Amino acid sequence: MADLKMKKLKTKRYRCLDCGNIFQGIGKRVVCPSCQSENVEESN
């Protein structure tokens, strides 16, 4: 098996406005993985 050049996933950084959790995610319906709140925003 050959090595694959690692290419970065196009993730975004999010912050939960309810519990303050900061996380990296990718996908369609983003919720906070800690408290499951939909009240999240993209964070730099």
Partner 1 sequence: MSVRERRRIELNPNQVLFLTGSSGKLGLVKTGQDMQIFIGTPEKEEIVVFLGKDDIIAVSAFESGKKAEKGILAMMYLLKEFSAPIIVLPENHPTSKRLKMVVACGDHINLDCDVQAGTHPEQDILCACSELSGLDIDAVEDGIEIEGNFEQFRMDKLDQ
Catalog residues that contact partner 1 under the rule CB under 8 A. Answer: 1-4, 6-7, 9, 11, 23-31, 33
Closest distance of CB 20 from partner 1, Å: 16
Instruction: Give dist(CA 43, CA 19) in Å, integer.
Output: 14
What is the closest distance, in whole angstroms, from the C-beta atom of residue 17 to partner 1 in the complex?
17
CB of 1 to partner 1, least distance (A): 5
| CA dist., res. 17 & res. 14, Å (int) | 9
Give the C-alpha separation, 7 to 3, whole Å: 12
User: Nearer to partner 1 by C-beta: 15 or 31?
Assistant: 31
